[in-house]
């Protein structure tokens, strides 16, 4: 559009003037007439020029101060040329501008009543400023909820409640927290994504349903997070002592104390660790009514205690580098696999299942190799102890020192052979220069060996006392 009432108007190309008699193009002598919108025609007061047969006109500023105007070039004996100029609301070339007089006095066709037009900076803070499709929560106090103004990366809000209002209005489902202090969830918030960098989280006013929502990099300090709507997802989160959660999938999380599981259902803890130093362990307590749960700890590191187990509870614990596994409750099935310091099963009841065939510790390893030392004659067929016992290499509990009574030379046993060795090597000896050589037992109570020898010292007869 042509700039209206500009101090330096733009040149206008009107067209070619063609001679009627011979069709030649005129390059001089044209007269200019300007007809303003709503006014009468007047002689053009600007400058006329010719460019490649085209009549051009540079109008005066006053001639352009209309919504439109017509410029006519004519000459006797020629076909006239004309052009209609539509002006913009701005005097700046190339910029249409806005006629604010029309905005403040809207017509029946374009009604802008009760419409707020923000400043130029606010108009640029649109969806791109909700970086990553998230409403931003920051440290500076701000509970305003104006879309595209608040909750943006450069102007975050300070509460989750304000962030939710903005997100719901814009159909967003994600939040990113960069604030210090605790962010509190004070209402049900299902199917949202919460992200941040080591931000603090709790609930306010009791249990809050956050089912189907996900939480990442949060320090969960307190509260009750229910999974009424569906399973909750937690990633790289730290849980302080006393947090309660509903059915959840947890990945790479740390636990500092008691966590109460409040709902019956499926819980998965994948690549999670104890954050309790020393011999103590985090405790996972099944609340009354949550006993009918399937709980899996996959690649768990550290000690762990689980209480509130019922007959409807099924637990799998796969240890990577574990401390002691402590179990409490009534009945239930627990399977323990991997490396752990030991298993303490304090459950009561008549239907207790504890699978630990694949659990490795200082008790199970020797038992698997030798079989229980109190069992008679190493009764476990697959154990090394049973194999050695069967081959008469180790003593058995039922028949005494079997190894010493095993025949090693004819009918002579190992114990008898040792007695003979002791006599020859360490007992008293006599008659070694005569025809009869005698070797006494170590206690010097009996002749252990009596040998008849010739002049060359060759034994021709030997009497042995083996008892």
Residues 6+ positions from 362 with CB-CB distance below 8 Å: 341, 342
Structure tokens at 373: 């030392």
What average pLDDT score do residues 28-35 get? 93
Percentage of the chain with pLDDT > 70? Answer: 83
What average pLDDT score do residues 295-313 get? 96
> Residue 23 in contact with residue 82, Cβ under 8 Å?
no
Distance between CA atoms of 216 and 284, rounded to whole angstroms? Answer: 21
> Residue 376: pLDDT above 90?
no
Percentage of the chain with pLDDT > 90? Answer: 59
Q: What is the pLDDT of residues 264-281, one digit of tens each?
A: 999 999 999 999 998 899
What proportions of the chain, in percent to the nearest 5, are helix, strand and coil?
Answer: 10, 40, 50
> Residue 374: pLDDT above 70?
no
Residues 6+ positions from 401 with CB-CB distance below 8 Å: 395, 415
What average pLDDT score do residues 173-199 get? 92
Confidence of residue 38 (pLDDT cuts 50, 70, 90): confident
Exposed/middle/buried for residue 248 (C-beta within 10 Å: 0-12, 13-18, 19+): buried
Exposed/middle/buried for residue 295 (C-beta within 10 Å: 0-12, 13-18, 19+): buried
> Residue 127: pLDDT above 60?
no
Q: What are the distances in angstroms from CA 318 to CA 15, 73, 116, 216, 251?
A: 88, 94, 60, 24, 14
**pLDDT recorded at residue 325:** 94
> Residue 210 in contact with residue 185, Cβ under 8 Å?
yes
**pLDDT recorded at residue 309:** 97
Name the 3-class secondary structure at 361. Answer: coil
Confidence of residue 359 (pLDDT cuts 50, 70, 90): confident
Distance between CA atoms of 259 and 5, rounded to whole angstroms? Answer: 75
Confidence of residue 333 (pLDDT cuts 50, 70, 90): very high
**Beta-strand runs (E) in 16-155:** 18-19, 31-36, 42-43, 47-51, 54-58, 68-74, 78-79, 81-86, 134-137
Question: Cα 343 to the chain's mean position, in Å?
Answer: 30
User: Which candidate, 353, 356, 355, 383, places its Cα nearest to that of 370?
Assistant: 383
Q: What is the pLDDT of residues 435-449, one digit of tens each?
A: 898 999 999 999 999
Q: What is the 3-state secondary structure (H, E, C) of 203-266?
A: ECCCCEECCCCEEECEEECCCEEECCCCCEEEECCEECCCEEECCEEEECCEECCEEEECCCCE
Higher pLDDT, 119 or 176: 176
**pLDDT recorded at residue 399:** 47
Structure tokens at 126: 């649109």
> Residue 31: pLDDT above 90?
yes
Q: What is the pLDDT of residues 213-259, one digit of tens each?
A: 999 999 999 999 999 999 999 999 999 999 999 999 999 999 999 99
Structure tokens at 50: 């010719």
* R_g of the chain, CA atoms, integer Å: 50
**pLDDT recorded at residue 382:** 60
Lowest mean pLDDT among 6-15, 112-121, 183-192: 112-121
> Residue 380 in contact with residue 386, Cβ under 8 Å?
yes
Helix (H) or strand (E) holding 388: helix 384-390
* Edge-to-edge strand list for the sheet holding 459-464: 429-430, 436-440, 447-453, 459-464
**pLDDT recorded at residue 404:** 72
Vertex 138 angle, CA 133 and 142, to 5°: 105
**pLDDT recorded at residue 291:** 85
Q: What is the pLDDT of residues 45-81, one digit of tens each?
A: 999 999 998 999 999 999 999 989 999 999 999 999 9
Confidence of residue 370 (pLDDT cuts 50, 70, 90): low
**pLDDT recorded at residue 342:** 87
In this structure, the strands spanning 31-36 and 412-413 are unpaired
In sequence order, what are the beta bridge partners of 193? 174, 214
In this structure, the strands spanning 412-413 and 429-430 are unpaired
The domain locations on the chain are 12-86, 121-366, 407-464
Helix spans in 91-204 (H): 100-104, 120-124, 160-170
Q: What is the mean pLDDT of the chain?
A: 86
Higher pLDDT, 393 or 40: 40
Name the 3-class secondary structure at 2. Answer: strand
Residue given tokens 């007089």 in the structure block: 101
Distance between CA atoms of 32 and 74, rounded to whole angstroms? Answer: 7
**pLDDT recorded at residue 252:** 97
Higher pLDDT, 457 or 272: 272
**pLDDT recorded at residue 132:** 87
Higher pLDDT, 179 or 27: 27
Number of CB atoms found within 10 A of residue 32's CB? 21
> Residue 44: pLDDT above 70?
yes
> Residue 222 in contact with residue 202, Cβ under 8 Å?
yes
> Residue 116: pLDDT above 70?
no
> Residue 165: pLDDT above 90?
yes
Q: Could you report how far apart the first and last alpha carbons of the chain are, in Å?
A: 129
Helix (H) or strand (E) holding 370: helix 364-370
Q: How many CA atoms within 13 Å lie on the side-chain side of 409? A: 7
């Amino acid at each position: 559009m042509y700039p209206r009432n500009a101090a330096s108007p733009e040149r206008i190309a009107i067209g070619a003037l063609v001679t009627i008699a011979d069709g030649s193009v005129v390059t001089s002598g044209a007269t200019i007439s300007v007809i303003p919108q709503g006014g009468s025609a007047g002689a053009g007061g600007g400058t006329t020029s010719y460019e490649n047969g085209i009549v051009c006109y540079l109008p005066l500023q006053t001639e352009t101060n209309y919504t439109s105007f017509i410029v006519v070039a004519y000459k006797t004996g020629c076909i006239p040329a004309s052009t209609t100029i539509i002006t913009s609301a701005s005097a700046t070339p190339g910029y249409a501008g806005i006629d604010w007089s029309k905005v403040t006095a809207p017509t029946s066709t374009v009604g802008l009543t009760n419409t707020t037009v923000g400043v130029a900076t606010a108009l640029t803070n649109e969806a791109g400023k909700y970086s990553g499709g998230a409403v931003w929560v920051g440290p500076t106090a701000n509970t305003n909820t104006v879309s595209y103004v608040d909750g943006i990366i450069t102007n975050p809000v300070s509460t989750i409640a304000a962030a939710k209002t903005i997100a719901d209005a814009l159909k967003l489902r994600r939040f990113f927290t960069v604030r210090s202090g605790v962010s509190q969830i004070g209402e049900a918030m299902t199917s949202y994504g919460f992200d941040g960098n080591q931000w603090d989280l709790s609930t306010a006013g009791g249990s809050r349903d956050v089912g189907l929502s996900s939480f990442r990099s949060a320090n969960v300090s307190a509260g009750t997070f229910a999974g009424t709507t569906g399973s909750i997802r937690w990633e790289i989160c730290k849980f302080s002592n006393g947090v309660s959660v509903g059915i959840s999938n947890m990945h790479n999380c740390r636990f500092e104390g008691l966590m109460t599981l409040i709902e019956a259902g499926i819980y998965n803890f994948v690549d999670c660790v104890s954050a309790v130093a020393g011999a103590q362990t985090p405790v996972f307590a099944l609340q009354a009514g949550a006993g009918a749960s399937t709980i899996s700890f996959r690649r768990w590191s550290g000690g762990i205690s689980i209480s509130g187990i019922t007959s409807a509870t099924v637990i799998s614990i796969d240890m990577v580098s574990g401390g002691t596994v402590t179990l409490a409750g009534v009945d239930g099935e627990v399977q323990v696999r991997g490396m752990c310091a030991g298993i303490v099963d304090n459950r009561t009841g008549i239907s207790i299942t504890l699978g630990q065939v694949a659990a490795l510790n200082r008790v199970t390893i020797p038992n698997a190799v030798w079989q229980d030392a109190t069992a008679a004659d190493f009764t476990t067929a697959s154990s090394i102890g049973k194999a050695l016992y069967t081959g008469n290499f180790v003593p058995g509990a039922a028949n005494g020192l079997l190894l010493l009574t095993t025949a090693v030379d004819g009918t002579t046993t190992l114990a008898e052979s040792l007695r003979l060795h002791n006599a020859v090597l360490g007992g008293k000896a006599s008659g070694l220069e005569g025809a009869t050589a005698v070797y006494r037992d170590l206690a010097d109570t009996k002749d252990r060996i009596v040998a008849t020898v010739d002049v060359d010292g060759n034994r021709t007869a030997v009497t042995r006392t083996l008892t």
